[in-house]
A and B are shown apart, each in its own frame.
Chain A
């Protein structure tokens, strides 16, 4: 028996030595024979745990991987035969697919076969698969792509094919995975060549005949443009071509990309691109709230916390608004041929095809914006808008806005004049409601702020008369129009509306005309540089003095001594005048300086005739020998000459520009203060408010693209107050469908109140005993006999039967 027991042990050992396969196959058996439940045996039923074990040691556990791989291969063959499977069967397949995709990088050969079979099944049976299985396959492929084990181009083509499947969750996943891949390629790998390949693929898919595939590619392009992956002209133009797609939804998406829907932009960018910034903002807000919570509460600290919250929210809003504006403006400026694009788009609007009104409105909006930004010539666009400019038209405020956006200084004045006349005739009449009149005047003001040359005196005076209209909104709109033309061209206004005119300015000033841009000879404010240079270095001063002397000697050789003598007293008197200016003593000096500033503010061309006139004035001055007049004339002359000289003679540096800017701001502030002092007494607060708002709006326009906003058209200074009757009518109208008297007793209808029986229960018995007695007397004879018989039986001791 001893021998028999020993020999099997030896045989097993020798068998183990012969081959590795035998050893591996026997090892788990030995493990299972022992009573311990090891980690490995537990993982045989848990794929997650098995995945973790295999990742630590891929070589040793290849057999377990191959088991799952063989299971997957057999299941795929079965799916080719029978695509419909039950949910539980598919769950095991989904688990297997996730397991294999997580481990694919350790086994390259099998992963190649794995991805090929996934691609094959998704191409052939993509529509027939269970949605969850299909999603699991796509996730597995995305995981393989992130590990660089498959070609991204092939994967993307497969995804664009799968977009056809009517599965909304799948479509969202596909688009988000493509965007995530672009983000990864752009930020982490910085692979420009791959970005180019993907870009070419998306552009070709946008020309696909299947509209759902084209729309998916369009969404990818738009998202990539917004998030700076493909922010270039080529992408913008490909999206622009989608405005002419035969499917209206694709057209609308492209047009919204150029026009900019604020909510969509803000939400999208917040969720995706603003992750780190959002964390910073969240941290800041968290810090503020935490520190406030842990600190003693005082009124001052509460105020500080509220202020900090507002600042944080303001910053967020500013970021959102700025980004969306920048993106849309950049896209419009990137168009290759905006004139041809607008002509095509306007042709699509004018065609007899029956589009939705909303779609046509988008096209009109995009035409107007591109015309306004690129200053294009599409003259039939303005007459096309005439038919829509009616108060009863749906979304008429938007159409008025688009008309204002499309007007620029290159449009012929008669075209704009007709447009304004149509608006004035249809909106600004007493037959219309005050809201329509207000909207019309606001629209005309926005159009004329872009094309002031199109205004006629007759029209402007008619519109100015509405400043005394009884409705507050209409009068304020008319006053804002008057304020605009006081700054732009006061000649067209009635004399009483012009404010305080400056006589000399009228003669000299030239206003913006049709196709007449401004030409500058010098930079306004450059005269300040000479003094700065003199302060810095004395050498410059000497050189300047030499030049001036030479000029003087060339002009008048006989009067050299006289001029030198005259300069010294002039300088002394300047100092005296400066002191008096600071003291605000003399009104004459103030008037003169105001004139000087206004002359300098206006950027004028110097005409030779005016120079000759000034020379004549000089001669007269000398004859009169009035020193003050000489001083004032010298002050008038010198700044412009200095400015032009400095602008031409030198090359400006950054510090020079900084000094010029500071000087301009300073002058502006001083001017405003003096204006307020002079005009403050006679002007009402409403007028001041209009002036301030107008200034702010002009500044905003210059900083951005220069187009009007919808809020400018729909601006109402005063909301109408409803009377009590109207408010109660609204309340009752709101309650029409509602039965709100629950819980109360009814006062109408049957059985309102209490019955006599209910009332008698609360009364004293003596009051109602007579009625109770009366009940017996009304009984029938039979009933009376019966009760009497019962009574007598009870009296005689017998029970009634």
Chain B
């Protein structure tokens, strides 16, 4: 008979029967689980105090917070952030130059946002106008990124996005012509836009003005003037004789970024312009011909007469004064052929056509 007492005594002397080769459980592990009833974030409880260095919007948000909200996925949050930024920047214009590094990457990206309502889009355009009050020196470091966003939006599939991009481009061209001239992709992208079927209609406000601004930044005949002068350089005496100031020769444009030194810089500068390249000018003529012919034929009231005359004059001047026409075979003939639509339109025009004829004399021959 095995009683409980005997069994308890014999517990120590039992032979342990383990499976051969199997692992034993560890008895020395430490349980490190933690439980918490409440987690408090102390920084969220701090009150925000408005100071000169830390302005707040009408909803009590700082500039950093508004820029973060610009990256939100909800369109309404972004709309409120745009309004907040407008309010801060209108009340504190001095922040635009200082905070441009923070503002441009998060604001410029929304030019291509298709989820905005028309009112929000208008607010965004107004915000861009406020941003463009920055000085040329401040904007020169950010114009590349800004223009990349705008040119990308110009190729978007949504039509409203293209219109907003065109308006933004107009503001930039008007405010920073020298900086925009240095962007290598601006000319071909805008030409592609004018040649596509989804551009703004010719008689809508904004298109022709933008085209004129676009041409102005590249038209070198308007700005370039030749001052004939004589310099004598004598190497024997190490002397230069003449009346010219050499300082003015190297500093061509006082408004350009200090990093854009004309002799050393590798980027495009005043030396090269699409108006000096025959193929670029030919593309421009091909693209502008339908627009000019529409102006000549359909604008009977003369509302766009001045703009049309300017367009014709710019193309004619560029073709006549082309210094590199030898690069392209039959350059003048091709330009003349591309403008045949304009020539036909002028002959068919009802109404006053004297100014058009005077401007297009070279084409009509």
Interface residues of A (CB under 8 A from B): 4, 7-8, 10-11, 14-15, 18-19, 21-22, 24-25, 27-29, 44-45, 47, 63, 67-68, 70-71, 73-75, 77-78, 81-82, 85-89, 92, 391, 393-398, 433-436, 439, 720
Contacts and interface: CB of A to CB of B under 8 A. Distances in A.
Contact of B155 (A15, A74, A88): A74
Contacts of B105: 82
Given A7-B348, A439-B20, A25 B197 contact: yes
B142 to A, nearest CB: 11
A88 B115 contact: yes
Given A15-B290, A89-B109, 4 more contacts: A11-B297, A18-B344, A28-B198, A71-B156
A76 to B, nearest CB: 9
A15 B341 contact: yes
Nearest to A18: B341
B297 A78 contact: no
B114 interface: yes
12 contacts: A10-B348, A22-B341, A28-B197, A67-B196, A70-B155, A71-B156, A89-B112, A394-B21, A396-B21, A397-B20, A434-B17, A435-B18
Given A15-B293, A71-B155, A78 B149 contact: yes
B157 interface: yes
A78 B155 CA distance: 13
Contacts of A27: 197
Contact of A8 (B157, B198, B298): B298
Contacts of A45: 157-158
Contacts of A77: 148, 152, 185
Contact of A74 (B189, B340, B341, B350): B189
B17 A74 contact: no
Nearest 10 CB-CB pairs, A to B? A74-B152, A71-B155, A396-B21, A397-B21, A70-B155, A78-B148, A28-B197, A25-B197, A436-B20, A433-B17
A394 B23 contact: yes
Given A15-B293, A77-B185, A398-B21, A63 B196 contact: yes
A85 B20 contact: no
Interface string B199-225: 001000000000000000000000000
Interface string B8-41: 0000000111111101000000000000000000
Nearest to B105: A82
Interface centre among B148, B151, B155, B340 (most CB of A within 10 A): B155
Interface in B169-192: 185, 189, 192
Interface string B94-120: 000000000001000100111100000
A737 B16 CA distance: 25
B83 interface: no
B247 to A, nearest CB: 35
Nearest to B340: A18
Nearest to A27: B197
Given A77-B185, A86-B71, A68 B20 contact: no
Contacts of A10: 348
B195 interface: yes
B259 interface: no
Contact of A87 (B73, B149, B192): B73
Interface centre among A7, A74, A435 (most CB of B within 10 A): A74
Interface centre among B157, B158, B297 (most CB of A within 10 A): B157
A24 to B, nearest CB: 7
Interface centre among A75, A85, A87, A391 (most CB of B within 10 A): A75
B57 interface: no
A194 to B, nearest CB: 37
Given A63-B197, A74-B151, A47 B157 contact: yes
Given A18-B340, A435-B19, A75 B197 contact: no
B297 A75 contact: no
A8 B297 contact: yes
B115 A19 contact: no
A4 B348 CA distance: 11
Q: For this complex, into which size category does the number of interface residues on chain B fall? A: 35 or more
B349 to A, nearest CB: 9
A70 B192 contact: yes
Given A18-B344, A88-B113, A88-B115, A71 B293 contact: no
A14 to B, nearest CB: 6
Nearest to A438: B20
Contact of B20 (A18, A21, A396): A396
A93 to B, nearest CB: 10
Interface centre among A4, A435, A439 (most CB of B within 10 A): A435
Nearest to A85: B109
A185 B120 CA distance: 53
A34 to B, nearest CB: 15
Interface in B113-133: 113-115
A25 B197 CA distance: 5
A438 to B, nearest CB: 8
A141 B21 CA distance: 51
Contacts of B340: 18
A71 B148 CA distance: 11
Given A67-B155, A67-B157, A82-B105, A4 B192 contact: no
B68 to A, nearest CB: 12
A82 B101 CA distance: 13
Interface in B124-154: 144-145, 148-149, 151-152, 154
Contacts of B19: 435
A44 B159 CA distance: 9
B345 interface: yes
Contacts of A7: 348, 350
Nearest to A44: B157
Contact of B157 (A21, A68, A87): A68
B320 to A, nearest CB: 23
Contact of A25 (B18, B152, B290): B290
A115 to B, nearest CB: 19
A637 to B, nearest CB: 55
A29 B152 CA distance: 23
Nearest to A77: B148
Contacts of A19: 341
B157 A88 contact: no
A44 B145 CA distance: 28
Contacts of A29: 197, 201
Contact of A81 (B112, B148, B286, B297): B148
A73 B151 CA distance: 10
B112 A433 contact: no
B258 to A, nearest CB: 21
A44 B148 CA distance: 23
A244 B341 CA distance: 77
A159 B104 CA distance: 35
Contact of A435 (B17, B145, B154, B155): B17
Nearest to B300: A4
Nearest to B201: A29
Nearest to B154: A74
Given A67-B155, A74-B148, A75-B152, A391 B341 contact: no
A78 B165 CA distance: 15
A21 B157 CA distance: 20
Contacts of B20: 391, 396-397, 433, 435-436, 439
A600 B116 CA distance: 97
A709 to B, nearest CB: 15
A395 B293 CA distance: 91
B155 A393 contact: no
B348 A11 contact: yes
Contacts of B21: 393-398, 439
A92 B155 CA distance: 12
Given A21-B195, A394-B23, A398-B21, A88 B348 contact: no
Nearest to B196: A67
Interface centre among B113, B286, B290 (most CB of A within 10 A): B290
A27 B198 CA distance: 11
Contacts of A21: 195, 286
A286 B133 CA distance: 74
